Structure 1
Amino acid sequence: MKIDKSYELPFPPDRVFAAWVCPETVIPPATRMEINPTVGGHYRLFMESEDRCNRAEGLFFAVEPDRHVRYTWEWDRDGEITEIDVLFEPADDGTALHIRHTGFRKTESRDMHDSGWDSYVEKLSALLEKDGETASN
């Protein structure tokens, strides 16, 4: 099972890509990230609270600055290792973002990630907008 999503973001591809692979770009409910965005590099995304710590982690297979990343995703070592392929393409008004997330074994997992991508991209766009306002002030 897979997810195919496309979004239009009003920011140039280099900015969207940089935010995607930056350890400071932490979108709630995530609380912190460790990332080495190189081929063979590892990342960990943490969701921490007072009573627990969940994490997603994986390895990068492809990293083409400002254009493309491909990496694995595993939630809390649940055994379902999926693959995420993201393209950052120039568009008239910014970036055409294409996400393909494959390898789901459970419909429930796929559906949760499907809505999760919408939320993530919406919050990423809001963060980039806020950073743009800060940079221009």
Structure 2
Amino acid sequence: MMLYADDSKVIGPASTLEDTSQLQNDLDLLTVWAKSWLLTFNVSKCHVLHFGHKNINTTYSLYGQLLSPVFEECDLGVIVDNDLKFSTHAKKAAASVSSSLGLIKRTISSHSPKILSLLYKGLVQPRLETGMVLAFPIFQERC
């Protein structure tokens, strides 16, 4: 199990019935833990994303309610699909960048390189870089 701020994940192999039983057991233990800390999970926001060709795509439940399977999920701002591809994320980033560039073009009359550089670094570059370390790690500079 992984916890990050208000985000939780139960992760594990699912290529055998024993694997899937262990994952369901982990979900059950998670509900016990949550109840002991007076927390609840919103089951409608909980999903199952099956990875890999050996995954037997079992259904899982939380609080006795079935979790809905999905083919892609946004995790900490990065959209990933069940084939571990980031094409949807890249398309969304490109659309966001295009929108930002259009805004700059329509509203800024100055063509000063200093101003355009500041706008690019503040409005465009962060949208391009979000999640790209995960999506395309081979293109990152080495320290």
Q: Which has the larger radius of gyration?
A: 2
| Structure with more helix by fraction | 2
Q: Same fold (TM over 0.5)?
A: no
- Kindly indicate which of the two structures has a greater share of residues assigned to strand: 1
Higher relative CO (CA 8 A, sep ≥ 6), structure 1 or 2? 1
